[in-house]
Amino acid sequence: MSAHAPPGGSDVPPAGPTEDAPAASPPRNGLASSAAAALATLALLVLVPYAHPSLRRLQLLTPLPEGEGLVVVPAPAPAASVGETALVVETTEQAELRLPEEVALPAAAAEIVPAAVALEGKPPRPIEDPSGQAMTPFFRALAAVERKAPGSIARISYFGDSIVASDFVTATLRRKLQKRFGDAGHGFMLMANAWPGYFHNDVVRYATKGWQVSRVVGPYAKDGLYGLGGVSFRSQYPGVLSRFATAETGTFGRAVSRFAVDYLKHPEGGRMEIKIDGETREVIDTRAEETASVIATYDVPDGPHTLEVWAHGPGVRAFGVWMERDTPGVVLDAIGIQGARIRFLDKSDDAHFAEQLRARNPSLTVFQYGMNESEDGELFPLDQVESTMKAVLDQVRAALPGSSCLLVGPMDRADKKGEVYRSRPVIPKLAAIQRRVAEQVGCGYFDTFGAMGGSGSMGIWARRGLGGADLAHPSGAGAEVIGRWLYLALMEAYEGWKASASAAQP
């Protein structure tokens, strides 16, 4: 069967173009000035280094040998613009980005902290929650899953920058949670790779060329409609395809019982065909007088399946697909946006973004930002970093009043001069801002910077195989450490919550 519904239910007005937005600038809802938007615009990714193996070290978001991690090579930043850019490379399996289910840590990691080797037991930092209530909705969802309540799913929507775009940290956290509580599906994915380093573990994805994209990092969509993942896709011609399938190997992602396609009906829409396991399930005419986002769901017997979205012509506009199962467990959406700062989430039309969040209905939203803010230094004033961050989180909290939220603090970041590594002085300032905002809006906070060892730690991590060669990203082993630390911190807080709840019962 299939079901089509506007996200969030009938009480949410259809999302449409922002009436007062000028045609030549992106729609805004009042958080950032045009100067801030220019500072925040993502550099266009350079594809030339992919043409020859000798240029591999210049490729964006490509893992380097010997556990060096992900390296971002910034290109000159273009001026902010409204429009689309063509995806000229097919979305295919990027085996070099895949993380094994068990990541072996370099022996030198033992010289940093014992927890980096043991990876079990007590985390180096707890989840900070001055209110004592920030994580309660998520923990209630976990408790329902743990007792196998029918229909229970603990759903996590995890937003972040390039680390999350490559499913670093999030893959480890997803696997650890699903191993303990059950695999309820892979979650949300973009229609295609909006950046060369976009990747998801434990699922099979493919897309042809022929998608045009607008992104919250630019070029911007005039109407501010980007779906949940910050990217709007539009087909250029007939035959454009996106495919999503269960994993063929490994422990996780081997079954699905429900696909959901998040797309847009609009006046210039085209025809879209949905195939499941090679058979046509539905042909949808996405042309409509009024613009509105729609969620089309397709139930299948729990097991291995493939979904295909075919554009029969230009004008099909879609955001992404999610995969879930009708079994108690955990789902984790890795919603990574390369080059993003948290304030970029406000590029979306407010009503539309709230609608998308409610349609996904996560028990927990997570925000892992700071790397690109550290690239800005203090050129974007830190008081505005704080105010815009708070405004975005206030929007999310208003859209999801019954869910939990968690901020994952920035990693340390260093510069190397000669043989000397020096942490960027803005990092502890950003960490302090995130901790303060988390308390103000009622979110939990995980101190990644402190867990790593504070100032000077990235140089040590890089020398011990846990930090990337760019001294900004983790290596695959470093991402494994952070992901497991997050898992341990969440489980420590969860067990404490369960103990308190049990003691409070008569």
pLDDT tens per residue across span 39-82: 333 333 333 333 333 333 334 444 434 344 554 434 334 447 99
Average pLDDT over residues 8-15: 38
Residues in the chain: 506
Confidence of residue 122 (pLDDT cuts 50, 70, 90): confident
Confidence of residue 198 (pLDDT cuts 50, 70, 90): very high
Report the range of poorest mean pLDDT among 31-45, 155-169, 250-264: 31-45
Average pLDDT over residues 329-347: 97
**pLDDT score for 482:** 94
Pick the more confident residue, 170 or 18.
Answer: 170
Tell me the C-alpha distance between 196 and 45, whole Å.
8
User: β-strand 256-265 against 211-215: which pairing, if any?
Assistant: unpaired
Who's near 500: CB < 8 A, 6+ residues apart? none
Report the range of poorest mean pLDDT among 65-74, 166-175, 183-192: 65-74
pLDDT exceeds cutoff 60 at 88: yes
Tell me the C-alpha distance between 392 and 412, whole Å.
24
Closest CA to 442 of 489, 482, 396: 396
Residue 440 CA from chain centroid, whole number: 23
pLDDT exceeds cutoff 50 at 420: yes
Tell me if 254 sits within 8 A of 104, measured CB to CB: no
Tell me the C-alpha distance between 136 and 188, whole Å.
24
Average pLDDT over residues 90-102: 89
Averaged pLDDT score across all residues of the chain: 86
User: β-strand 414-417 against 153-160: which pairing, if any?
Assistant: unpaired
Residue 420 burial by Cβ neighbours in a 10 Å radius (0-12, 13-18, 19+)? exposed
Confidence of residue 431 (pLDDT cuts 50, 70, 90): very high
Confidence of residue 28 (pLDDT cuts 50, 70, 90): very low
**pLDDT score for 80:** 72
Report the range of poorest mean pLDDT among 43-57, 415-429, 457-471: 43-57
**pLDDT score for 391:** 98
Tell me if 312 sits within 8 A of 238, measured CB to CB: yes
pLDDT exceeds cutoff 80 at 110: no
pLDDT exceeds cutoff 70 at 102: yes
Tell me the C-alpha distance between 30 and 51, whole Å.
41
Average pLDDT over residues 30-40: 41
The model carries a pTM of 0.87
Report the range of poorest mean pLDDT among 16-25, 149-158, 230-239: 16-25
pLDDT exceeds cutoff 90 at 472: yes
pLDDT tens per residue across span 215-256: 999 999 999 999 999 999 999 999 999 999 999 999 999 999
CA angle 198, 395, 498 (to 5 degrees): 85
- Please report, rounded to a whole number, the percentage of residues in the chain having pLDDT higher than 90: 76
**pLDDT score for 275:** 98
Tell me if 82 sits within 8 A of 222, measured CB to CB: yes
Report the range of poorest mean pLDDT among 90-104, 117-131, 246-260, 277-291: 117-131
pLDDT exceeds cutoff 80 at 121: no
List 86's β-bridge partners, or say none: 212
Helices (H), 296-443: 350-360, 371-376, 382-399, 426-441
**pLDDT score for 67:** 40
**pLDDT score for 113:** 59
Confidence of residue 483 (pLDDT cuts 50, 70, 90): very high
**pLDDT score for 103:** 83
